[in-house]
Amino acid sequence: MFRRISLLAVLTAAGLALAAPSGAAAATNLGETFTPSPTLCNLTNLQTTSPNGQYTVPFAGVITSWSYQALASPPNVNFKVGRSAGGNSFTIVGESGPTIPTAGILNTRTTRISVNAGDVIGIYGNAEGTCTIAGGYTAHSASGDRLLGDTTTYALEPSRKLNVAATLEADSDKDGFGDETQDQCATSGSTQGACPVTPATPAKKKKCKKKKKRAAFTAKKKCKKKK
C-alpha cells in the first residue's frame, strides 16, 4: 500500500512540474515609479545601487516598456540603459529618445532594447522631477543627455533614487524581440510572427498482397496430399 501511495505522489509531482510555467519566460519588473520630490536631477542618472538590485538587469533579454510618474509640470525625459565600462565609467547601450510626458499621470511607453545581465536602468530629465533622496540607493550622474554609445565618467550620487521603471522579457531565440509581447515564435530567430508549420509527411500506403495465387497454391497442395 505504501509503495502504491509513494508512486502516486511521485507521478503527481512530476505532472505538476510539467504543468508549471517556466520562471525564465515570465516578464520581470525593474525599478520603481513614485511622485518625486522637487530635487534637482536634470542630468543623465543611472541607478547603480538599489535594494535587492531592483534597478539592475538580472538576465540577458529585451526591455519592452518603461514608465515614469510625471509631476504637474514634468521635464522632458529620456529612458536610459547603462553598462559598466570600469570604475565610474558607463556606456549608454539603450535609450528611448526624448519624450514629453503627460502631466500628472503615470506614463508608460513601449520600446525594444536588448540588454545584458548587470546593465542598469536610468533616466535623463532636462529639469527637476526625475529623482528623490532615499537611503540605500546610489546613482551615478553625468551632465547633459548622454546618447547611445556614449562612454563617460559619472559622478557618484549617494541616496539618490530614480523615478523610473521598466519591463524585461526573455529573448530565447536571440532575435532582439521580447518573447511575451513582441515575438510570436520564440524558438526561431528568423520570424517574429507565428511559427512556420512543418507539413506532415504522408504515410506510405501498404501494397496488398495477391491472395488468389496463395489460395490456388494451398488448394493444389491439399490435392497432392489426398492422392
- Cα dihedral 150→101→110→88 (10° resolution): 30
pLDDT at 13: 42
Amino acid (1-letter code) at residue 227:
K
Tens of pLDDT, residues 183-219: 668 655 546 566 767 777 777 766 656 555 555 555 5
Classified as helix, coil or strand, 222 is helix
Out of 38-42, 87-91, 190-194, 205-209, the most confident range is 87-91
Q: In what order do the strands lie in the sheet with 28-32?
A: 28-32, 164-169, 61-69, 106-115
Distance CA 146, CA 82 (A): 10
Cell numbers describing residue 129: 522631477
User: For residue 20, what pLDDT band results from cuts at 50, 70 and 90?
Assistant: very low
Residues 182-219, buried b or exposed e (16+ Cβ, 10 A)? bbebbeeeeebeeeeeeeeeeeeeeeeeeeeeeeeeee
Mean pLDDT of 87-99: 96
For residue range 96-121, what is the model confidence (pLDDT) as tens digits? 999 999 999 999 999 999 999 999 99
**pLDDT at position 179 over 60:** yes
Per-residue pLDDT, 188:
55
Please give the average per-residue pLDDT across 10-27, as a whole number.
45
pLDDT band at 221 (very low <50, low <70, confident <90, very high): low
Using pLDDT thresholds of 50, 70 and 90, give the confidence band for residue 127: confident
Answer for the pair 141, 157: CB distance below 8 angstroms, yes or no: yes
* Rounded Cα–Cα distance for residues 202 and 205 (Å): 9
Can you list the domains of the chain with their CATH numbers? Answer: 23-169 (2.60.120)
**Position 156 pLDDT exceeds 80:** yes
Residue 48 binned pLDDT confidence (cut-offs 50, 70, 90): very high
Q: What is the CA radius of gyration of the chain?
A: 31
Task: Report the distance separating Cα 157 and Cα 48, nearest Å.
Answer: 10
